Amino acid sequence: MYSVPFEICRKLQFNYGISSIPTLLVMNSDGKLITKSGREAVAGNEIACLDEWLEGRSGTIVGSGVNWVSIVFYVGLFAFWLWYSRGRQVEGRDKKVL
């Protein structure tokens, strides 16, 4: 396990706006920042993120780490509720359910 000395850690926090730990900053050999969200890149794109970092890209894809099944479920549930609630309204009053 590797760690950064405290003095360097404070400089990195100040220079790159790090507010949480653990944080994975990815830099090239010149010290140019490639991405500040290396941790999310590894979590969502663990196979290809290293290749993307070597090419100078951030390694993150839009939507990585997002649970799309839950999003689709809740959007569908909302659409059903909207359809059902509008179908029950007649001239500002609810229909009586038998």
Q: What is the pLDDT of residues 33-67, one digit of tens each?
A: 888 778 777 777 777 777 777 777 776 655 545 56
Per 3-state DSSP, the chain is made up of helix, strand and coil in percentages (nearest 5) of: 45, 10, 45
Which percentage of the chain shows pLDDT scores above 90?
Answer: 6
Query: 74 or 87, which is more confident?
Result: 74
Q: Which residues span the domain enclosing 16? A: 6-54
As a whole number, the mean pLDDT across the chain is 75
Residue 28 has what pLDDT? 81
- Angle in degrees, CA 57, 48, 62, rounded to 5: 60
Q: Which two tokens stand for residue 96?
A: 């009586």
At residue 31, the pLDDT reads 79
In a domain, 46, yes or no: yes
d(CA 39, CA 24): 5
Residue 56 backbone zone (phi > 0: left; psi -120 to 50: alpha; other: beta)? left
Say what the pLDDT of residue 76 is.
93
At 92, is the pLDDT very low, low, confident or very high (cuts 50, 70, 90)? low
Q: What pTM was computed for the model?
A: 0.47
Is 43 a domain residue?
Answer: yes
Q: Looking at per-residue confidence, does 96 or 45 come out higher?
A: 45
C-beta separation of 45 from 64 below 8 A:
yes
Q: Look at residue 97 and tell me if it is in a domain.
A: no
CA distance 81 to 75: 10
Does residue 69 belong to any structural domain of this protein?
A: no
Residue 68 in domain: no
The per-residue pLDDT for 60 is 62
In a domain, 72, yes or no: no
In a domain, 10, yes or no: yes
